[in-house]
Amino acid sequence: MDYDSAYERVTQLKKFYKSLLWFGIVAGIIFFNDIFENGTFDFSLFDGSVILVIWGIFLTIKAVKLFLLDSEWEKGIIEKEMKKNKKSIDF
C-alpha cells in the first residue's frame, strides 16, 4: 500500500468514526429525551426515530464499504479473475 492510498484510507476511517460518534450522541439525546418525557421509548417520525434508522442504514453501508470491500479485497478479486482468464501455453 503506497502513501497516498494509506492516507486516503486513514481519512475515510476518521470520517467514519466521527459519523459514528455523532450518531451515538444524537441517538443518546433522542433516546434519553423520550424516556424522560414519556417514560418509554416510542418509535415516532417526529421524535427523530426514523431519521436515526435512515442514518444507521447509511452508516452500515459505509462500514461495509470501508471494512469489507476495501482495496485488499478488490486486489484479491482482480487477481482471481486474472487467473481464471489465463490460458496455458502448449509447446
pLDDT in tens, 33-80: 777 777 766 666 556 678 888 999 999 999 998 888 877 777 788 788
Give Dmax over CA atoms of the chain in angstroms.
Answer: 81
Question: Does residue 41 lie in a domain region?
Answer: yes
Question: Does residue 31 lie in a domain region?
Answer: yes
- Work out how many domains the chain is built from and give that number: 1
**87 by DSSP, 3-state: which?**
coil
Question: Does residue 4 lie in a domain region?
Answer: no
What residues contact 16, with CB distance under 8 A and at least 6 apart? Answer: 59, 62, 63, 66
Answer whether 0.75 is exceeded by the pTM. Answer: no
Please name the residue that has the C-alpha cell 433516546.
31
Separation between Cα atoms, residue 74 and residue 63, nearest integer Å: 16
Range of the domain at 36: 16-71
Question: Does residue 89 lie in a domain region?
Answer: no
